[in-house]
């Protein structure tokens, strides 16, 4: 009675595992792109929701500045914009960002202030998402 595996059996097993890995890599890359776009999309919609909620709750104007490297929320102090919240942008996740209007301002009632209609498009490989902000402050995610 022999114990263990022969060298040929181990080589065949490793070759089969290598073939399976090579076959699944493209699907894995596509899945990772989807995850990155979803995370970046969630970050942007969260920034917009936080800015709108802060404007309503505290009775001041707030703005979101959407950039590839950062997402910023500022509040209006009466004479200038003061930093409120900051976090990294979609480029940290390997996602490209295209924005029609990089600055979205919400008034104390939660409606858009000035030219607030905005469309942001996020892309990574074959995956993309679109986020729109209406003048009344409604945020919609299109995947």
Ranges 17-26, 84-93, 120-129: which has the least confidence: 17-26
Rounded to whole angstroms, the Cα distance separating 49 from 29 reads 30
Share of the chain above pLDDT 90, in %: 69
pLDDT of residue 49: 93
Residue burial 18-38, b: 16+ Cβ < 10 Å; e: rest? eeeeeeeeeeeeeeebbebbb
Mean pLDDT score of the chain, rounded to an integer? 91
pLDDT of residue 116: 67
Beta bridge partners of 96: 123
Q: What is the pLDDT of residues 24-53, one digit of tens each?
A: 877 788 889 999 999 999 999 999 999 999
Domains of the chain: 7-142 (3.55.40.10)
pLDDT of residue 57: 94
Residues 51-75: what's their mean pLDDT? 95
């Amino acid at each position: 009675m022999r114990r263990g595996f022969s060298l040929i059996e181990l080589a065949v097993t490793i070759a089969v595992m290598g073939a399976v890995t090579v076959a699944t890599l493209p699907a894995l890359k596509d899945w990772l792109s989807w995850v990155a776009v979803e995370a970046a999309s969630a970050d942007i919609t969260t920034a917009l929701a936080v800015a709108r909620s802060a404007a309503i709750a505290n009775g001041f104007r707030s703005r979101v500045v959407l950039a590839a490297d950062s997402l910023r929320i500022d509040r209006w102090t009466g004479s200038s914009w003061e930093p409120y919240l900051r976090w990294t942008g979609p480029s940290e996740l390997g996602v490209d960002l295209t924005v029609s209007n990089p600055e979205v301002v919400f008034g104390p009632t939660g409606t858009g202030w000035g030219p607030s209609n905005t469309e942001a498009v996020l892309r990574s490989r074959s995956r993309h998402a679109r986020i729109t902000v209406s003048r009344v402050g409604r945020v919609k995610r299109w995947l």
